[in-house]
Structure 1
């Protein structure tokens, strides 16, 4: 398939993440450099391929046509059934683990990019209720992984957020979200920030894209949070803050359950710390 799309090609670098069901390769052909994402042989094609393809076709390509340059990869070829995506290579180094991860200007630019990407969608009458139901189900699955008193406290918080006049019952405007908006998916090149990997893209609340940053890079770094907010230029309302609590609650316990399932003990512990923070901040 790749030969038909690219002609002769060769691998320059394997960029695959551990514990993932996808191979990510930087390759070179006569047309230049590309990023190839491919489902690993013998495994089912992940739904992340469909999400990424849909993100490119339905949102990113129209944004590029409407507004010109967009700091995200450009889709060149895809095959849903095979689980195969080819994008034009974006030069740059990952922000994660580099000096750029502590640079407020990088976070300000990332905030500006996020504001461009979050294209408005429909208004959902039941988004909050579905989010609360998912969180409740995950709390049940986390029994034995998180202390019972912490899980009971999460359930109490969920009951508050799900009260008839609370956030779970309010209409939620949906937007296009990245789903994993954080420095491991940001590149920096010649002072310019770009965003990669749209495999978790979906229609969600806009605050859902804040959860991972607030539980990692923004801890003890208010300057990074302030810079990001300045770039994003969208202050949190009272409703936003309640919805962010609900999003974070679901994400925290979901992280514990998912990480335990794949045997990632460090990430499982990160989820437990998220649980403690969401309870402390509620």
Structure 2
């Protein structure tokens, strides 16, 4: 007997998925149609397995091509309204949509090796886009000796090993987008071996992405106003740290100690990145304004930067 649709996985239809992905890369007009058809497939589908595969395919295709700017907000709203039982896949798709807002569409075909990696991602624990508590509750994602997320340690170590403190514009200069995307994909598929990377800007870019994609920032939104109200006061800044959850405090201290090393005069002379530069880059990743109004968010940007700079200065002189 032949397999029914429910018996056939995305892996079984590998050739069809690869064809669809690469056709969408080169045929812009079919992209929105593909996402709309998948939205229909997962809406009210009596087969939970078929709905699950539809969600997974939507996330997989988002690696290949993006919806139009017209469809994007509607697709985001649709994903946000997904049933509770699809929470994990919904977050996977939502994360890919967030990336679609930040990056342009690719032009090169997806390789078979790349697609094989992508197909493993929906069933893997979230690395990018998870909350810190979720990461720490997943043993394979945590270094038991340090109590830190493995991805954080691996990215920082690779920046250092590749001479990041000798690299002009570290954290400011954009890395090769294809190298960043492929390395992120390998990490999402469970491979934290970064020995293939030769450019320190790649792990530096991924470190920023990991912090930005955390489900909750290291400094909780409930403390945001306290941070930006007196951002230049070291006592206030250090006082905020005492209010952080223990795990967030541990991770933040590790990060600040690493960044503070980059503020040594001899390092700044090579990277041309002073405390203001680093605070400008990391302010929005460590603090997130809970206000939805863009004008209000813009008004507090300088406070975010000043708060992070105050922390960096404090960690320069422990």
**What TM-score, normalized to structure 1?**
0.37
Structure holding more helix per residue: 2
Structure holding more strand per residue: 1
Point out which structure has higher relative CO (alpha carbons under 8 A, 6+ apart). Answer: 1
Q: Radius of gyration: which is bigger?
A: 2
